[in-house]
Structure 1
Amino acid sequence: MTNVIFTVGNDMRADDGAGPFLAALLEADPAAGWEVIDGGASPENHTHRIRALSPKRVVIVDAADMGLAPGEVRRIDEDCVARHFLITTHAIPLNFLIDSLRETVPEIVFLGIQPREIVFMAPMTDDVRRGVAALHRTLVDGVGIDSFPGIAE
């Protein structure tokens, strides 16, 4: 059984590309014990790939407006994901995606990355780029996602 990092976001919308940027970093420098799947702007089109892996744990990574400094990373309680924190650039709300995955995945964790700006055809900001790089390093070093503080309602 494996673990999956499932990234979400649109890399044509500045900091909303945080998830796909993490996927690219993990493709170039993988984290032991983790499979990466980039769901992009239409993550619902990739859930079959996750189900085929039968993972024990899925970590969904996406930009989330948490009122923090840009680039900050937090674990977000899944009950709060759709209600409070997500930037709605996706075809379906992520809580529907989580509910769908929950049918076959025992543990789902959501990591939010605080964006500075979500602007079409703008580059990712340096703060978010550094935050994603730090998240990548945490995964590669085996520290684990539980080292990130949690945020709830």
Structure 2
Amino acid sequence: MLGDDGAGPLLAEKMLANPLEHWHVIDGGSTPENVVHQIRQLKPSLLLIVDATEMGLMPGDIRFVDPDLIAELFLMNTHNMPLNFLIEQLRDDISEILFLGIQPDIVGFYYPMTDAVKKAVEQIYQALNLHYIQKAFEPLAICEQ
């Protein structure tokens, strides 16, 4: 419903329709803090959070964002609570938390998702399928902000 802001839910939908070995999917939608209990029940060693994130890049660009820098960089998202609060809640339970941002183009009510963001979701799905997610994308450099 919010155009490119649906990148994370689109990936979750794709993974639920075409499951990938070794990955569990939880769609946090616009209130990921409401699924913390589900994440804790799974007891993952790795948590990957994927979200449309305003990073000042080209639409569809994908970057790993250091979870410790999310609040510091004031990365824009449309969640009820900043994602750094979610990450802080889970840090004691999960040894590795990765945040992967997709640069949106249009985030507005009733806009369709752009092709650039759909393509980025597909790239992430393929990287997860091939088990090389941590090597597939670059970290967000401070100078890119």
TM-score relative to the length of structure 2: 0.92
Superposed CA RMSD in Å reads 1.3
Structure 1 position 83, deviation (Å): 2.8
How many angstroms does 1:68 deviate by? 1.6
**Residue matched to 1:87:** 76
Tell me the distance in 1 between the aligned counterparts of 2:135 and 2:64.
Answer: 8
Q: How many Å apart are 1:21 and its aligned residue? A: 0.3
Match of 1:32 in 2: 21
- 1:19-46, CA deviations, whole angstroms, 9 ceiling, x for partnerless residues? 0000011111122211111000010110
Distance (whole Å) between structure 2 residues aligned to residue 30 and residue 137 of structure 1: 12
Q: Is the 8 A contact 2:124 2:133 kept in 1?
A: no
Contact 2:63 2:138 in 1 (8 A): yes
1:90 offset after TM fit, Å?
0.8
Opposite residue 63 of structure 2, the aligned amino acid is: R
Q: Corresponding residue for 1:139?
A: 128
Q: TM-score, normalised by structure 1?
A: 0.87
Q: What amino acid does structure 2 have at the position aligned with 1:110?
A: F
AA at the equivalent of 2:137: F
More strand by share: 1
- Alpha-carbon shift at residue 103 of structure 1 (Å): 2.0
Determine if the alignment matches structure 1 residue 49 to structure 2 residue 63: no
Post-superposition offset of 1:65: 1.4
What CA distance in whole angstroms lies between the structure 1 residues aligned with 2:76 and 2:115?
19
Match of 1:22 among 8, 11, 32: 11
User: Residue 111 of structure 1 aligns with which residue?
Assistant: 100
Instruction: List runs of 5+ in structure 1 lacking aligned partners.
Output: 1-11
2: CA distance, partners of 1:113 / 1:85: 15
Alpha-carbon distance in structure 2 between the residues aligned to 1:130 and 1:100: 31
Note the C-alpha offset of 1:117.
1.1
> C-alpha distance in 2, partners of 1:152/1:44?
27
- 8 Å contact 1:26–1:36 — kept in the other structure? yes
* Residue 100 to residue 66, structure 1, CA distance change in 2 (3 Å): same
Query: Residue in 1 aligned with 2:51?
Result: 62
Counterpart-to-counterpart distance in 1, 2:57 and 2:97: 23
Q: Which residue of 1 aligns with 2:64?
A: 75
- Does 1 or 2 have the higher relative contact order (CA < 8 Å, sep 6+)? 2
Structure 1 residue 85: deviation in Å? 5.6
Report the secondary structure of 1:38's partner residue.
coil
SS at match of 1:32: coil
How much identity, in percent, do the aligned residues show?
48
In structure 2, runs of 5+ residues without a counterpart are: none
